[in-house]
């Protein structure tokens, strides 16, 4: 994170709701290190993914393997994704993928990589898949904790949702902190961004905060 020392929330907040109604308590996730007051945060709303053969099993003996690095992509939903063979073929076939709400995410051939809400690849086995074979991929609910905004993340912390109102150390353990969450004006120069954040990224994050009623303004 950029180095910026701020003493109190008054360095960040210009105006807020009555009786501090703009604020909430939250948990800063362990591993966030020392985080300065004014840091823009994102919420960890999406957890890990696990795959399993559909209930009742498959005729085909092939596999589905989630990507080892980033199996859950930006926009993924909590719940069960269905991967079902739509078209059968010798040593191949075509899968149809639907999200937890039943929306069609497209098709992918056996042996090819799928990269949408999820990233995975299937492989043919000694016995071919038949129509109706499939896999269920379950995406868990995230911890609900907060972390410094990370534009490269895919667990929800890539989306701005709050501003930290106190300096906190979550190097080795979670830390309970005070957050600015709604209906407030903040000093734009006081916000702390990830190192290397571009103007485009900052503007998108500021728009997300403004949708929550948090407006950044120049001045002290």
Q: Which residue has the higher pLDDT, 1 or 63?
A: 63
| Confidence check: pLDDT of 2 > 80 | no
Check if the beta carbon of residue 95 is closer than 8 Å to that of residue 108.
Answer: yes
Q: Could you tell me the pTM of the whole model?
A: 0.82
Residue % of the chain over a pLDDT of 90: 92
Q: Domain boundaries in the chain?
A: 9-42+145-217, 46-141
CATH superfamily of 9-42+145-217: Head decoration protein D (2.40.300.10)
Residue 51 CA from chain centroid, whole number: 19
- Of 173, 148, 134, 112, nearest to 40 by C-alpha is 148
pLDDT in tens, 101-152: 999 999 999 999 999 999 999 999 999 999 999 999 999 999 999 999 999 9
pLDDT tens per residue, range 167-212: 999 999 999 999 999 999 999 999 999 999 999 999 999 999 999 9
Q: Both tokens of residue 15?
A: 């105006």
Phi, psi of 117 (to 5 degrees): -65, -30
């Amino acid at each position: 994170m950029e180095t910026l020392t701020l003493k109190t929330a008054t360095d960040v907040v210009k105006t807020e709701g009555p009786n501090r109604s703009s604020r909430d308590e939250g948990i800063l996730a362990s591993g966030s290190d020392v985080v300065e007051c004014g840091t823009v945060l994102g919420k960890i709303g999406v957890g890990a993914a696990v795959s399993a053969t559909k209930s009742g099993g498959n005729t085909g003996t092939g596999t589905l393997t989630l990507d080892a690095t980033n199996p859950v992509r930006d926009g993924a939903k909590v719940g069960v994704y269905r991967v079902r063979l739509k078209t059968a073929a010798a040593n191949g076939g075509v899968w149809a993928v639907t999200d937890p709400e039943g929306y069609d995410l497209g098709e992918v051939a056996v042996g090819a990589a799928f990269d949408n809400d999820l990233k995975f690849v299937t492989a043919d086995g000694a016995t071919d898949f038949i129509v109706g074979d499939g896999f269920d991929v379950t995406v868990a609910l995230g911890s609900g904790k907060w972390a410094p905004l990370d534009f490269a993340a895919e667990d929800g912390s890539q989306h701005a949702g709050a501003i930290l109102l106190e300096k906190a150390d979550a190097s080795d353990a979670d830390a309970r902190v005070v957050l600015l969450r709604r209906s407030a004006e903040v000093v734009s120069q006081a916000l702390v961004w990830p190192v290397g954040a571009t103007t485009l990224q900052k503007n998108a994050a500021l728009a997300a905060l403004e949708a929550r009623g948090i407006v950044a303004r120049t001045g002290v």
